[in-house]
Amino acid sequence: MQTFLPYPDFRASALVLDRRRLGKQRVEALQVLRGLTVPGYGWRRHPAVRMWAGYEEALVRYGLEVCAVWCEQGRQDSCATTLLADFAAFRPGARTRDQARLAAAGELPPWLGDDAFHRSHRSALLRKDPDVYAPCFPGDPDDLPYVWPASDREGTRPSDGKPGAAA
C-alpha cells in the first residue's frame, strides 16, 4: 500500500514510474480513497491512507494523473472513472481541480514538497528496481526508510461519515 511520489508534481511522479508500478498506482489511489471514505473499508489505519486524510481531492487528482499517463502509453483504464464516481459519492457536486488550482487554494497536503518525503520514495523505487530507477535518481541512496507524514487535517471518519480523525 503506497502512493509513490518521487516528486512533488503528480504528473512528473507518474511519468517516472515503470509500467508495473504505474499500473498499480491507479488501484492504490482508489484503495486509499476508499480507506478514507468508505465505512468498514480495509487499510484505513495504514499510514499511506492516513497521510491523505482531509486531502481527498488531491489524492483523486494524483490518481487521475496516473491514469492519464497510463492511457497516454496506450493502455486501457477504468480506474479514473471509478475514482471520480467515488469522489462524487463522498463529496457530491465537487469538481476535481488540477494540481495548480489545488495549490492555489491551499488544498495540497503539507508534506508535498518535503524533500525527505520525496527522497524516501525515490529510495524505495531504487530498491524495487535498481535497473530502471538508478538512471532516474542518480545520487539518491537506496536504503532510506519510508517517511510517513501525518496529515494536518482530520478528514472524515469512514465509520460514521462525520468530521473527525480518520479511523
Residue 2's nearest CA partner among 17, 15, 12, 161 is 17
Q: Which residue has the cell 495504514?
A: 46
- pLDDT value of position 162: 44
| Residue 75: Cβ within 10 Å count | 13
State the Cα–Cα distance between residues 149 and 146, nearest whole angstrom. 9
State the Cα–Cα distance between residues 43 and 62, nearest whole angstrom. 18
- pLDDT value of position 63: 99
Domains of the chain by residue range: 10-108
State the Cα–Cα distance between residues 155 and 16, nearest whole angstrom. 29
- pLDDT value of position 1: 81
Q: Which residues of the chain have pLDDT under 50?
A: 159-167
pLDDT tens digits along 31-63: 999 999 999 998 889 999 999 999 999 999 999
- pLDDT value of position 154: 79
Helix, strand, coil percentages (3-state) for the chain, rounded to 5, are 50, 0, 50
